[in-house]
Structure 1
Amino acid sequence: MTVGADPATPPPRRRDAQRNWELLVAAAHEVFTEQGLEAPLDVIARRAGVGNATLYRHFPSRAALIDAVFHDQLADTMAVGARARDAPDAWSGLTDYLGTVFGTLAADRGTNDLMTTHVRGVGALEAVHEHNRRTVESLLGRGRDEGSVRADVTTEDVLFGLAALGRAVPALTARAAPGAWRRPLALFLDSLRAPSPSAPPRPTLPGPSLDAAQLGEVLEELGPHRSGPARRTPATRPRG
């Protein structure tokens, strides 16, 4: 062992191993973007030009591969949320934030799966979901104080609505104009607005809101997008 080496630091990868890691991450990003997070892992390995055994040596689980592929992008999403919280008024912060997030959901099916469902074992994702929740909660609270957001809307109401609408974005983008998602998002945002002082009050929302645990169960039940009956099943991990 080299004197002064930190035993907690993993040794650097060999050049060929590093190259395979990079090829797998790039291929996985392409395939996840096209097909969603349940894309077959053998397709990813073939596109990277390596065998399934090589894929599993680098990424022992699908969650580990997802974490490597989307780590930087998820960090960018948190940065967008941080900027939204500093907006001069809550309504502009909320609309700009959600517009940016939905633009990403429309462009990348893998990110759409991550942001609109619950995927276990992806470390970076838990932090992003919590940051997203705090961002929405902060902007809604400020919006109520400023009179721009209706008083009876909860954070869970908004997160559920965003997940449900976000799930439809890939199909909407594929069947209509690239920016077609902007129209339903605008309608959703308008439903959150407080009425003007001269307008009649809106009816109170019926029934109770979901709580945080119920929302998590709903998102987990949705599951990632599926490409259809013709798609192959994921590769079986090789033994030995």
Structure 2
Amino acid sequence: MTDRLPHMLRADAQDNRDRVLEAARALFAERGIDVTMRQIARRADVGPATLYRRFPTKQILVDEAFEYELRSCRGIVDDGCADPDPWRGFCSVIERISLLNVRNQGFVDAFMSANPGIDTFSAHRASLLRMLAELAGRARAAGQLRRDFVIDDLVIVLLAGRGLSSTPPSSREAAARRFAVLAIDGFRESPTNGDLTRAPRLVFEKARTVR
């Protein structure tokens, strides 16, 4: 009996950890990353002490809760950059990330946050934006991406797409697909393109440059 007790305790601790992560993912997806640790503990049906024992800071919890989305996001960018047709690769990134984002309200918040208290993704963000800037540069050199595109324009699309999470769940994916098509059409090089206004400064200088 005593030999089984440590194993039972470990199983119970793992169950609590899994419940906290499940609750955090659900709340972040529904409401964004501004939910409190106390709300997460309540949803997981664990005490605050148990939650903080498994996840000492909210930063650690955010990091683990979005591990899948972060891997998925990198895979999308890797696939787009590997496409021999840079415009097709660029379009696939917009389409797939739009769908990824609409499924989780909190992921874009966490990924694009400039708040050092919760921003655990800065290195990933810098790397992915740099890769996307290079992909955009190749698409523009091929004459398919509008000449006045800057990487901040893609960030605007990511931030704007976050608003689709407020649409009815049954319509979100369809809305995300249509939004992606509209964004791609706006990025396409055309002799009828109008002049854009000055781009806002949303990302760091090294990622902003499109060669």
Fold agreement, TM-score > 0.5: yes
Higher relative contact order (CA 8 A, sep 6+): 1
Cross-structure match for 1:182? 177
* 8 A Cα contact 2:81 2:89, kept in partner: yes
Unaligned runs of 5+ in 2: 1-8, 206-211
| 1:121 CA displacement | 4.7
AA of the residue aligned to 2:105: R
| TM score, norm. by length of structure 1 | 0.72
User: CA deviation digits over 1:99-150, x for unaligned, max 9?
Assistant: 1111111111122322344353557522331233023202211111111011
Cross-structure match for 2:5? none
* 8 A Cα contact 1:149 1:193, kept in partner: yes
Counterparts of 1:85-104 in structure 2, within 5 Å, are 85-104=81-100
| TM score, norm. by length of structure 2 | 0.80
Question: Aligned pair 1:172/2:163, yes or no?
Answer: no
Cross-structure match for 2:3? none
* 8 A Cα contact 2:133 2:151, kept in partner: yes
| 1:65 CA displacement | 0.8
Higher normalized helix content (fraction of residues):
2
Provide the C-alpha distance between the structure 1 equivalents of 2:74 and 2:100, rounded to a whole number of angstroms.
13
Unaligned runs of 5+ in 1: 1-12, 215-240
Q: Percent of aligned pairs with the same residue?
A: 28
3-state DSSP of counterpart to 2:34: coil
Provide the C-alpha distance between the structure 2 equivalents of 1:208 and 1:94, rounded to a whole number of angstroms.
20
Of 62, 66, 69 in structure 2, the residue corresponding to residue 70 of structure 1 is: 66
Give the number of aligned pairs.
Answer: 197
